[in-house]
Structure formats: structure tokens, C-alpha cells
Structure 1
Amino acid sequence: MTLPEPETEADFATLRNLGRTTIGKSFSLQFGSHSDIGAPTRTIWQIISEDADCASMGSGDEEEVTLRQSPAGRVQVKARVVRERGRVAELRFERVMGRANRDAHLENLLTLDEDAAGRLIELCYALKGIDPSGSETLKLDDDLLAAVMADPKALSAAYDRDPEGFVEMIKADVTATDVVAIAARKEALKRFEILLDDPDEFERARDGGGREAVWQRFFEGNPWILGVGLSGHLFTSWDGQKLERAVAGSTVADFGKRVDAMLTTSGAVRSLVLAEIKLPGDPLLERDSYRAGCWVPSREVSGGVAQAHITAERARDDLGTWLTARDDDGFDTGEAVYAGVPRSYVVVGRLSSLMRGDQLHRDKVRSFELYRRHLSYPEVLTYDEVLARARWTLHLLEAEAE
């Protein structure tokens, strides 16, 4: 059967496929707003509902894009984009009546001007993000929707308008929470690398303070890095606000003892974990060999190990076998941490100090590995090892979020 050649706009409308968007070629506007006369214009059509089968009809002046189908009656939407990309000057809903080349005609159902069309378009975009579950009524004003739609930095603009609303939406959205957590951890690792490799930035971070204080602040701001970077176990900070804690009291007869990081294992029973944080630039071995092929640990490494031994011993003496957790008001929470045999770590130096470029110094690597592997405690870890494990953990998070 040969399809008739359409003669009118109504004929074209009867022959268009349901759910297919037809974009006409550009032309100069001949009527409408005075300021728009002569401006480049394109007309867009789509049949959004259908009650009878119709054959499709293409045209050399039209570009077609297939969309989803909708199971209602035959209604056409006609939009007019004028002067600039995305500016919908008019949106019209039309009923398509009759048969092509016979009695086809269009019946106008609703015409929306530029402002009304813009609000409808913004509503349609908003509808795609609405969760059908929820016990609260939410209200989004036109300015918020317009910011999301019109601003190239839409999310930033929307956040600036209603930061508290965005925080609540993120808290309620597990996926969003994951995305924010991953982004924050990426930034933390980027900062880690900068502090390791950029001496100028490290000096700015010192701001006149001590060098170890820079790393103390960094790990306190990102406790998850030590939590996943020290061991195969998950460690969490004993205090959510501060890693450094006193583990032994100061008296007239003795000195008080503080530990750089006080953490606990995670699980049904928690155990105490102590860490001493040195500097990534500290050497791992003495400059000269002790004997041919044999290097001894540096003063910074051996000193950190001795410090860890004393800290753990003092913690056992002063804290006892069990450490009871308290809330901010000083009341016992009922949670106890086993402190009888605290795990202990020293974070110091970088393995790259045992290399020249890409070349290993095998005797130095062997000397360092033999020394730390024969320690019962503490475990000695380097900054690059902590960073590598944190990167691996972030990679797993990103894979789970995909």
C-alpha cells in the first residue's frame, strides 16, 4: 500500500510515529515577539499518546529521534525553540483528528508561553528524580529548579540556594552518601601525596609549627587512612575528635606519656591499638653500612621502636587490662576495650629511600625487612605503604559504587 504524500501540518501529524521526536530545519521567525522576528527558529513535534496504528513518514527537512512510547490517546506536542539553544518560546498541545490527505486537522488543547513552558520543562526534569517513598512533603521553588536547569554549574548553584536541603537529601540517599565519601577520600589521598612530594606546600601546612604536627593534623582529619592502612584489620579512632591521647599519667616521680594515635580494632570485642607517627623524610637505615651488606636501622626507626615499647608498657600499667569508654558527659557507655596487650605501630620514612630511581638496593632492603620482620612489636610501616593500602581501599569502594 502506497502511503499518501502529506500536504498539511495536520497530515504530517497523522503519519508520525508515537514517541518519535521530529526536529524541523532552522528558519527565520516571521511572527511572534517583536524582538524575536528574524531570529533562527526550529520547530519540534512529538506524538505523546496514540489510539490507532499509523505508518511513519520521513521528510528531508526533518531529523528524527526515537523516544519511549506512551499508551494514551493521539496527542501531539509542538515546541518552538527560538534564537538560542534550549530557549523554548512556545509549547503547544494539539489533538490530531481525521485522516491524512482527507479530513486531517489539529485541535488546540493548550498553549504555554515561554515562562509557563519553562516551568513545565523544569517540572518534568524534577519528576525523574522523585523517590515514590517518603513521609515528608518537599517544596522546591522555581528559582531552585531554574538554577539546576539553566546554570552550567547547576549543582553548585542549587547547593548555594539550599545547602541544608542538599545535606538532608544526601543523608537519605545511600548512593549519594557513597559518592560523597569517595570524593572526600580522593581529596584526602591527593592531599596526602602533596604533603609527601611538595616541600613548599608542606612548609605552608606547617605554618610555623612542628613537622610532625602537620601529619598529626592530617591523620586526625582523615582517621580512616590509618584505620585501613596499618593492618588487615579495620581500626577506628578511640576519640572521634583527636587521635593523640595520653595513655599514662604525669606524676612528680614519673613523666606522662602521650601516643600520636590511639585507635581500637573493630568487632564484637575491641582491642587497643597505639601508633607513633614520625616523618616521611626520616631515613630507614643509617647512612653507612655496619658490615659489608649489612645496614642497621636509623636512629629515627630504632628510637620510634623504643618509644613504642615504652608507650605500650606504660599503657598496660596505667590503663589496666580493660579500658572503659565514656560519653561526652563522663558516663560509662558500657563498652570496654581490651588493653592488656595493645597492638603497636610506628609510621616512619619511605621505602623509596632504599632505591635510586627505579633501582633497588637489595642489601638495604634486606637489612630493613629482616629488622622489622623480627620485631614482635611494634610493626614498622612506611608512609608509602600506608598510602598504597589507602589507595587500594578507595579502589574497592569505587568498584562497589559502580
Structure 2
Amino acid sequence: MEAIPGTEAAQIVKALVDISDVHENFWKVISFLQGCVGLDLPGSSLRLVVGDEAELARLLADQDRTTLLEAVRTAVGGVLTEEDIRLISNRKSQLQRFRQLLNDPEYFERERGRVAGPEAVWQGFFEENPWIFGYGLTLVACGPLDDGKLERITTGANIFTGAGKRSDAVMRSKGFISSLLFCEIKTHQTPLLASAPYRSPDVYQVSKDVVGAVAQVQKTAHKALRLVSGELHRHYRDDGAPTDIEISTACPRQVLVIGSLSEFSDGIAANPEKITSFEQYRRSIQDVEVITFDELYERACFIVEDR
């Protein structure tokens, strides 16, 4: 008996259900379940785990931290410490933050509101994650100059050396003898090319921001080397005590991190004339390597995610 809207009394409702092919669908379900390996049916939800993953899930269920770590070692092979897991997990989370800063304008603006300007957002991020520079700026492994910050004052302001210079990152290569590396960090939003073509429609000049930043890192390196005598320099702490770090000052690497190659795309396809103009410029500079933020991100992905 069902109450039908618009009628005065309840009515008997009859329905015809065709069950002629029920058995066929039933055996389809049975065949599907027979093809599953390691089917787990907990009380609250359904999970389908196949093959080795089912064995790993069984090993991990209701185990303490030490047992879990040993299970992971067994599953992946080799020696894996808790510190290794923490390091990998942290770098993956920082890589996700890198991607957000690069691709999410709202997220970047929120981070910008906490510091003094857009460049400070990236400076702070790279100070927390110097490993990105270490893997990303050269095929030779690099690291901070010492245990201090990446950003350093390379020359002081006085009447003899002129205006003081500050480098966003002073680094050194890893090896028996270290080589200096100076890096300037701008932002991913810094334009790489001027907005309008230069005279002919297929020629674009680089932006004044790129030209100025290249000159900046060149001047920083030049002034710093004027204060260093000899081709090998012993690094000293702030209190004057010598360290065991010996640095080669011959032809230090100079790197500029600026802009994004996405600037050359209209959302559908890339502009070949803009790409050519930019590539020709940065390949013509022999002493400064220009890297865009998206290129640096992809290099970091290669290290952390092997892609």
C-alpha cells in the first residue's frame, strides 16, 4: 500500500521486474571475484589489493614502528634506515611545495604576504632546501659554502672596495678541491623577454630584468674575487679560525635563476620565435648559466622521483 499524491486513499501498486538474466550477471560477479588475488574485506570498507601489495599490507597490519621499518626493508631490498624514509618523505613534500609556488598564484601570494617581497619567498624556500641547488645547478654535486646560510655578503661596503655586494647563494662544488659558485635568485614571474618584438616581428630582446640580473651576478663574482689572492683560498669562520675547506677561485660558476618558460606559451602552443630568441641569448653568455624556475623544478623531480 502506497499513498499516491493527488488521491484520496492509499493504493496498491504493482511492479513487474524481469529476472530472466539474473543468473548471468551473478556468474559475471563470481568470475570477477575469482580473478582477484588478495581480496581484503574489512568491516567498514572494501579494498582490493593485488599480488605483492597484498603481502605487504599483511606484513604492515597492526605492527609497531620497528617491525614496519623492517617490513619496508624486506619489500624494497637493501639497507633502509628511518632517517632515509624521513629524508625522502620530506623532499617529496618540499617538491610539492615547489610546484605550488610555481603554479598556484593564490598560494604564492599568501606566502608573499609573510615576507618582504616575492624574491624573499624563493630565498626562504631555497634556504630551507639547499639540496635543490646542490642537484639542480650543475652535474657536479654542490652544497652550501659552509654550515651557514646560502645568502652571503661577499664584499663589505667601505671606501676601498666601494659598494657592498650580497649574493643570494654562495655555494661550492663537492670534491677534493671545491670550486666557487655564485647564484642570483629572482622570481618565476620575472619576464624573460620584452613584451613587444624588436623592430621585426620575429625578433625578441631579453627583458631588462634578465640583462640586469646577469650583470648583477657578474659584478658580485668580480668584486668577491678581487678580495681573494691566489688560485686556492682557505675558508675561514667568522671568528677568524681556519676551516678544512679549500676553494678554487679560478673561473667560479655564475648562475641566474629567473622566470619560467611557460611565458612563451599562450596556453595552447609555444611561440617558436620567442623560444629561439631566448635560447640564443642565454647560449651566447659564456660565464653565466641562466636557469628558469620550471627547469630547476624538473631537475629536482629527476632526483627525488626519478623522472
TM-score scaled by length of structure 2: 0.71
1:338 pairs with one of 248, 251, 263: 248
Are residues 1:316 and 2:225 paired?
A: yes
Which residue is equivalent to 1:52? Answer: none
- SS of corresponding position for 1:366: helix
The residue that corresponds to 2:83 in the other structure is: 177
Once the two structures are superposed, what CA deviation does each residue of 1:64-106 show, in whole Å capped at 9, x if it has no partner? Answer: xxxxxxxxxxxxxxxxxxxxx9xxxxxxxxxxxxxxxxxxxxx
Kindly report which structure 2 residues correspond to 1:274-285, keeping only aligned pairs within 5 A, or say none: 274-285=182-193
* C-alpha contact 1:243 1:263 (8 A) present in aligned 2: yes
Q: Which has the higher strand share?
A: 1
Q: Which amino acid aligns with 2:97?
A: R
Measured on the aligned residues, the alpha-carbon RMSD in Å equals: 2.5
Cα offset, 1:327, TM superposition: 5.1
Task: Encode CA deviations 1:366-393: one digit per residue, 9 max, x unaligned.
Answer: 0000000010121101000000000001
Partner of 2:10: none
Report whether the alignment pairs 1:187 with 2:97.
Answer: no
Q: Does 1:261 align with 2:261?
A: no
CA deviation string 1:25-76 (max 9, x = no partner):
xxxxxxxxxxxxxxxxxxxxxxxxxxxxxxxxxxxxxxxxxxxxxxxxxxxx
Q: How does 1:381-400 map to 2 (within 5 A)?
A: 381-396=291-306
Instruction: Give the equivalent residue in structure 2 for 1:197.
Output: 103
Alignment-mate amino acid for residue 165 of structure 2: K
Q: Percent identity?
A: 38
Name 2:199's counterpart in structure 1: 291
- 1:285 deviation in Å? 0.3
Q: 1:347 aligns with which of 228, 233, 257?
A: 257
Aligned to 1:244: 151
CA separation in 1, counterparts of 2:199 and 2:261?
21
Shift of 1:185: 0.7
Gap runs ≥5 in structure 1 = 1-84, 86-127, 130-147, 159-172
Separation in 2, partners of 1:231, 1:376: 15
Aligned to 2:227, the other structure's residue is in SS state helix
Q: Provide the aligned length of Structure 1 versus Structure 2.
A: 235
After superposition, residues 3-402 of structure 1 pair within 5 angstroms as 149=62, 174-206=80-112, 207-252=114-159, 254-292=162-200, 293-320=202-229, 321-326=231-236, 330-396=240-306
Q: Could you list the per-position Cα deviations for residues 135-154 of structure 1 after superposition, in whole angstroms to 9, with x for gaps in the alignment?
A: xxxxxxxxxxxxx948xxx7
Pairwise CA distance, 1:189:
0.7
AA matched with 1:388: E
**TM-score where L is the length of structure 1:** 0.55
Residue 178 of structure 1 deviates from its aligned partner by: 2.2
**How far apart, in 2, do the equivalents of 1:232 and 1:271 lie?**
13
What residue number does 1:100 align with?
none
Q: Distance in 1 between matches of 2:253 and 2:167?
A: 12
Per the alignment, do residues 235 and 193 of structure 1 end up closer, same or farther by CA in structure 2, a change over 3 Å counting? same
| Equivalent position of 1:118 in the other structure | none
Is the 1:243–1:260 Cα contact (8 Å) retained in structure 2?
A: yes
Larger Rg belongs to: 1
**1:316 partner amino acid:** L
